[in-house]
Amino acid sequence: MHQQSVLAPDVVADPRFYAEVDHRTGFTTREVVCVPLRIRNAVTGVIELINKRQGKYGEDEVQLLESVAAQAAVAMENARLFEAERAGRQRLEMLYRIGQAINSTLDAEAFLTG
């Protein structure tokens, strides 16, 4: 919604938390860190840390998760660019083969005397 990282040390007291998920799954969420995954200035997902085993999450975990999210976004964008390049290369190879096939079927003598 706000496209910003969230540190919620007590989700029960946080109005942004949708408790129905816990009711449906039987899982108890106590605290959460949510960091948006941004690719090309658009949020495409969220990475979360839920219920630290000992202690509480703090700003250090938020910064670490933001770093992980940034690296994941770069990896995902690189994968998308690699796939786009591969698809473009396949189209060019197909056009080259079509051109070769057309060239090989031309009767050069008929073409030149036209």
Query: What confidence tens digit (pLDDT) does each residue in 44-86 have?
Result: 889 998 999 888 999 999 999 999 999 999 999 999 999 999 9
CA distances from 74 to 27, 52, 78, 81 (A): 32, 27, 6, 10
Query: pTM score, two decimals?
Result: 0.67
* Domains delineated in the chain: 6-113 (3.30.450.40)
Instruction: Say what the pLDDT of residue 109 is.
Output: 58
pLDDT above 70: residue 106 = no
Whether 8 and 16 have beta carbons less than 8 Å apart is answered as yes
* Alpha carbons 51 and 25: distance in angstroms, whole number: 15
Instruction: Say what the pLDDT of residue 110 is.
Output: 58
Whether 8 and 32 have beta carbons less than 8 Å apart is answered as yes
* Alpha carbons 75 and 23: distance in angstroms, whole number: 35
Instruction: Say what the pLDDT of residue 13 is.
Output: 86
The secondary structure of residue 72, as a DSSP letter, is: H
pLDDT band with cut points at 50, 70 and 90 for residue 103? confident
Instruction: Say what the pLDDT of residue 74 is.
Output: 92
